[in-house]
Structure 1
């Protein structure tokens, strides 16, 4: 179907729905690279005006990637909840934006309609919103999950303690874990990006982190971010696996480039659930996404990168994860050129994920060749925390020596909690106080040699005397 919109005496023509979505997207380098971006500001505004008049029902009829050729599209269509959609089915995209921003639409309302919102609807309405709109609506969305603690409660923000090491040295990893715990980090997950995919080496990492969690009786969960098929193997070999991780994308072809499909994700979820390691919940999956990954795989089919990203959240939603996060600036300036584009993308991703009912965190990050710096990351993480972000990353010094990019530190989480009055997951916060890492007011305590955490340190891991 061809869409048209006239401004003054000029009529802009868009060949199909995905062209309207792409042209309406705020400028970003990835869409220019893909050849789908608006050529002028006027064309972008015409596309937005056109998009505002499109009924939400259209997205159920005019599929941007064919049903027959894409299992993500089939998942979106086949799991769509018509009863939840009925409440908003009469709205256009523009009406939907206005409805979301009204005071009458509260958390209960958004939770109720989430199963009726498709990724394309979420992406479409985000393109009509200012940054403050994305923050305001996302703040009203609450997605609460649980495994050994409770993630996503109002007034809380969690952290992934990320003790990466370029050689997977157990002493280096253990030292980073203890370092992060002393700053109150790690309630979302202690999650390691391994340097190798060797099954014996992965087994060692699982037992290492599990020993530390058990040594200190920490109410948190661990994850080794290797390929999902490796995690199925280590489960079969008896590894203490808490969360199953996988990077996911918004098209079947892109997921195949990751070596996965929906069936293997279902197999992994079933394997993790069979271990029954959760204590307060059974959300066992952890997903990472990021704008640009679909285009990198040459699997975008002319769809803009932000809409492709929103489609990944449909995959995540289907598997009820404990955690999911967008790695917003990780790929590089080819997809998000500078700080402004990274900030906008992070706010879009968080909004779309939460609107769809996904517990979305963000790796607030950038590569060293992007036109961005740590001040941009301070801005984005502050905006996201105000919007109700589920979790951020915690890495020593904000510099990932394993993956070679810049992200957020243990100190950043303390800043957000202090300035915005946010707290860690309640079970984890109770443990921090019991360990005298944090006082009753939430202040992190000075570290001395007599500190309880250091006294009970596994000496064979840290080679301590």
Structure 2
């Protein structure tokens, strides 16, 4: 295994695979903050040259966190399909990149389960933004809860009706408006301001009552901590999806208050008591940089740690996963260019892992980014075949205090990319007069549709 190269008359030598991966990463403020980024563009290119010549087996045999000390590593390594791995273990990362770009989706799917998170992150570092879009568009990863997400030609949205006090009237007003713009086919999911069993149950029941009254084919979810949701489920709450934020190391998952054993327990409980019909009923959120926040990154770069999140999520056959790409702030992604790159990376890595991947196209107000950056990323992701985006009133989450995609944005992403909502949902929107032939009608955006009596 060769960890050095000569470039521009200078020899670059790296101490470990972990260091090669970190210094081959595109510029991210989080890696700089951690002291592991390349010193300059020349060192970054040198690391990419070395990385391109490493084999799939080199990266599998050198995970960024040791198997013995980290259960996320164990989940990923133990989950490898050894027959698929045998087919590609000897090829280099550069050859893997060429294979992914040149091959049809079926060929990529045959070897996908033989890839570890480090391999997936490594090949992503060798790709341009356009490479990532081309490769992502091939990868179709559907999943079924009550309805099926990720089918070709569709772009779904999560209706996110957050309210700073969980006001029932405020939450439901946002739901009415969001559905009137044909948002919410992926799910109706609230981040609660009050994380209690009682509040979780109340909101789940409100969403279920609305879905039943108006025959809206979707999924309900309240994004309280998994332990809160488990207690609500035991008491009979109608829960279609179970949510949890996850990380790429055991240390950082502990900071989130979870472990593999707890998530295994939650999964089994949900399988027994869920109110949804399909085989996929878990929902996870991630985001580059969270491991650095909790001092659980093990001197690995944030892209590799993000890929490890997806390897962990795969264990639970999720219905949906999304990166909240610009939520943490400029400490990890400094500006719009870094957010755009990270959003494209995360979507591709999730799809290559084999999970149904969406993106919260977002940024914080103290980041050097703008609405234009958000819209640029949304259009690029729609072109790349992202499964879903967020729909938030006016694109301004007044509870979590960040900027995301609005109800109007989600509709525009569909229109400009030729995508449509999930099929059952679109049919119901047509029955309500909100859509016709894949387009919003003049009635769209009128929430009073849902304050009338059902006829």
Structure 1 length normalisation: TM-score?
A: 0.95
**Structure 1 residue 266: Cα displacement:** 1.3
In 1: Cα distance, 2:438 partner to 2:34 partner:
50
Partner of 2:310 in structure 1?
313
After TM superposition, list the pairs within 5 Å mapping 1:261-276 onto structure 2. Answer: 261-276=259-274
Deviates more, 1:72-81 or 1:4-13: 4-13
In the superposition, relative to structure 1, how do residues 448 and 272 fare at CA in structure 2: closer, same or farther (>3 Å)?
closer
Deviations 1:238-295 (A, max 9, x none): 111110000001001100000001111111111111125223x221100000000000
- Show structure 1 runs of 5+ residues with no match: 458-465
8 Å CA contact retained: 2:2, 2:54: no
8 Å CA contact retained: 2:267, 2:316: yes
In 1: Cα distance, 2:373 partner to 2:123 partner:
25
Q: Check if 1:118 corresponds to 2:116.
A: yes
**Structure 1 residue 450: Cα displacement:** 11
Is the partner of 1:86 in helix, strand or coil?
helix
8 Å CA contact retained: 1:24, 1:127: yes
Q: Check if 1:365 corresponds to 2:368.
A: no
In 2: Cα distance, 1:452 partner to 1:176 partner:
13
In 1: Cα distance, 2:453 partner to 2:428 partner:
15
Of 378, 381, 396, the residue aligned with 1:381 is: 378
Of 168, 174, 177, the residue aligned with 2:175 is: 177
After TM superposition, list the pairs within 5 Å mapping 1:222-241 onto structure 2. Answer: 222-241=220-239
Partner of 1:454 in structure 2?
451
In the superposition, relative to structure 1, how do residues 126 and 173 fare at CA in structure 2: closer, same or farther (>3 Å)?
same
Q: Check if 1:211 corresponds to 2:209.
A: yes
After TM superposition, list the pairs within 5 Å mapping 1:161-200 onto structure 2. Answer: 161-200=159-198
In 2: Cα distance, 1:445 partner to 1:275 partner:
41
Deviations 1:293-321 (A, max 9, x none): 00000000110001000000001111010
Deviates more, 1:34-43 or 1:7-16: 7-16
Partner of 1:98 in structure 2?
98
In 2: Cα distance, 1:282 partner to 1:444 partner:
34
**Structure 1 residue 454: Cα displacement:** 3.3
Structure 2 length normalisation: TM-score?
A: 0.97
Deviations 1:98-151 (A, max 9, x none): 11111xx11212222211111111100111111000000010111000111110
Deviations 1:198-231 (A, max 9, x none): 2222221111111111111111001000100001
Partner of 1:4 in structure 2?
4
Moved over 3 A (4+): 447-454
In the superposition, relative to structure 1, how do residues 147 and 40 fare at CA in structure 2: closer, same or farther (>3 Å)?
same
**Structure 1 residue 88: Cα displacement:** 2.2
In the superposition, relative to structure 1, how do residues 449 and 127 fare at CA in structure 2: closer, same or farther (>3 Å)?
closer
Please report the RMSD computed on the Cα atoms of aligned residues, expressed in angstroms.
1.6
After TM superposition, list the pairs within 5 Å mapping 1:61-140 onto structure 2. Answer: 61-102=61-102, 105-140=103-138
In 1: Cα distance, 2:438 partner to 2:356 partner:
27
After TM superposition, list the pairs within 5 Å mapping 1:147-162 onto structure 2. Answer: 147-162=145-160
Count of matched residue positions in the alignment of Structure 1 and Structure 2: 455
8 Å CA contact retained: 2:3, 2:16: yes
In the superposition, relative to structure 1, how do residues 448 and 368 fare at CA in structure 2: closer, same or farther (>3 Å)?
closer
8 Å CA contact retained: 1:2, 1:14: no
Is the partner of 1:422 in helix, strand or coil?
coil
Of 390, 393, 396, the residue aligned with 1:396 is: 393
In 1: Cα distance, 2:66 partner to 2:194 partner:
37
Deviates more, 1:254-263 or 1:438-447: 438-447
Deviations 1:364-396 (A, max 9, x none): 000000000000001001001100001000001
Is the partner of 2:137 in helix, strand or coil?
helix
In 2: Cα distance, 1:111 partner to 1:76 partner:
17
Is the partner of 1:381 in helix, strand or coil?
helix
Q: Check if 1:410 corresponds to 2:403.
A: no
In 2: Cα distance, 1:243 partner to 1:144 partner:
16
